[in-house]
Amino acid sequence: MVHNLVFATNNMHKLREIQEILGSEFHILSLQDLGIETDIPETADTLEGNASQKARFIYTMTGKNCFADDTGLEIEALNGRPGVFSARYAGVGCNFNDNIEKILKELDGIENRRACFRCVFSLIIEGNEHQFVGRVDGKITTVRAGKDGFGYDPVFVPDGYSQSFAQMPPYLKNGISHRGRAAAKMGKWLNSAHAK
């Protein structure tokens, strides 16, 4: 039996990633698939809070089993920024390139380039919420490299690799990424819950 789950996102890139990770036993529906155009509030000051807020909002609205995620890039030398502000770090209406430009400027001349991506999933099944966290450590480069992926991928090199996330084929990034790790935990939980 295939289980339907609504993913509270409009980012098709993330939707494809998660569908690949969770496998064919789960059918992931986007907000677009449900015809939901409402802007989901994301006003908490932590990734955990935002993921929970988004998932609860969609559950209340649809009554369907669903999940939401929130991700942040946390840079050591910037005291954890951009963090929850990762999507709009360079201001309202900014794009991925503007955000990269801003962090590269802020890190100019700074030796400590340590950073991590952290991802939190909030899953709501029959009204009960479960959270799963994934994290990948690495460093911010001084120049962009690669064309794959999205967001800060061209300037993030995970520990143990010399390529940026944007230079990696999707299967490789998914296997080690923050979202891949959090989604794998969620998938394991879902599979064991449905096996019962």
Site residues, ligand ITT (CB under 6 A): 9-11, 14, 69-71, 73, 86-87, 96, 99, 149-153, 165, 177, 179
Phi, psi of 21 (to 5 degrees): -75, -40
Nearer to ligand ITT, 9 or 122 (CB): 9
Residue 42: CB minimum distance to ligand ITT, A: 7
Burial 152-189 (b: 16+ CB within 10 A, else e): bbbbbbbeeeeebbbbbebebbbebbbbbbbbbbbbee
Residue nearest to ligand ITT (CB): 151
Residue 112: CB minimum distance to ligand ITT, A: 20
CB 90 within 8 A of CB 101: yes
Nearer to ligand ITT, 52 or 86 (CB): 86
Q: Give the C-alpha separation, 195 to 187, whole Å.
A: 12
Nearer to ligand ITT, 116 or 190 (CB): 116
Residue 14: CB minimum distance to ligand ITT, A: 6
| Burial class of residue 28 in the structure, from the number of CB atoms within 10 Å of its CB (0-12 exposed, 13-18 middle, 19+ buried) | buried
- Active-site residues: which are they? 70
Residue 103: CB minimum distance to ligand ITT, A: 10
Nearer to ligand ITT, 26 or 156 (CB): 156
Residue 65's identity, in one-letter code, is: N
Phi, psi of 154 (to 5 degrees): -65, -15
